[in-house]
Amino acid sequence: TSQSDAEILAFFARAAGTRTCGRFAAGQLERPLQRAVPVAPTRWRAWLAAAVALWSLREVAPTVAQAQAPAEWRARYGGGPVPATPPAPQPAAHAVPEAALPLVLRGVVTDFANKEGLPGVTVLLKGTTIGTSTNQDGTFELVVPTEMAAQASLPVAVSSIGYVTQLHSVATAAVASPLAFQLQADRMEFVGGIVMGAMVMPRVLPPAPWHPRRFYNWGKYWVMRPFRSR
């Protein structure tokens, strides 16, 4: 009762020439058994499947970049002398002129004694509030403002706690190469700023006229006067 017509016909074909017993439902009796007929695909479904396949290939296939062929330069005669050399290539429209690039001071600050990098050192453009601090390894980068980039030299002050402050004049033409500063320890600062000198004792003022000591000295003078030798 759970088999379809095609399955029942297939069973009868295998059991041909033998006696067969089975149980059938009421809807399977008194009617011809139907064979399964494969349904041919319609034309529009075939076209749809072909279109989907082509679209998938178009999305997956990589795009091939085409290189631009260099233009060949040929001298053209226009009534005048023909140039012997090709014209100089024009700069690209997106190229940034060199003068527009910012001027950056780069370098390192080390200790004069052990040659190790000093972190936290202040590198300042003298006379301005533009400065920076060195990194953990003593390196620094300082962007020079546009109005100072045209100067021939830049005054740079290098200072740190416990070291002698240095003032350098860095040539603008030598900014491209890294700078190297060496700070020396400030010995006077280690002393603590103690000034040795003579101790000044406070001045002792005489007692006031109404002080009891005044009356004591006055009475002692007149009582002891007769006993003093002349």
Delimit the domains of the chain by residue range: 1-35, 101-190
Q: What is the reported pLDDT for 145?
A: 87
Q: Would residue 46 be called left, alpha or beta, if left means φ above 0 and alpha means ψ between -120 and 50 degrees?
A: alpha
Q: What is the DSSP-derived secondary structure letter of residue 117?
A: B
Give the pLDDT of the chain (230 residues) as one tens digit per residue: 788 888 888 888 888 888 888 888 887 888 887 776 665 556 777 788 888 888 877 766 666 556 565 555 555 555 556 555 666 666 655 555 555 577 888 999 999 999 999 999 999 998 888 899 999 999 999 888 888 888 888 899 999 998 999 999 888 887 788 999 999 998 775 555 555 555 555 565 665 666 677 777 777 777 777 766 55
Tell me which architecture the domain covering 101-190 has in CATH.
Sandwich (2.60)
Q: What is the pLDDT of residue 60?
A: 62
Which secondary structure element, helix H or strand E, spans residue 5, and what is its range? helix 5-14
The pTM score is: 0.41
Tally the C-alpha atoms within 13 A of residue 83's C-alpha that lie toward its C-beta.
Answer: 8
Between CA 220 and CA 70 the distance in angstroms is 126
Q: What is the dihedral of CA 193, 196, 198, 201, to 10 degrees?
A: 40
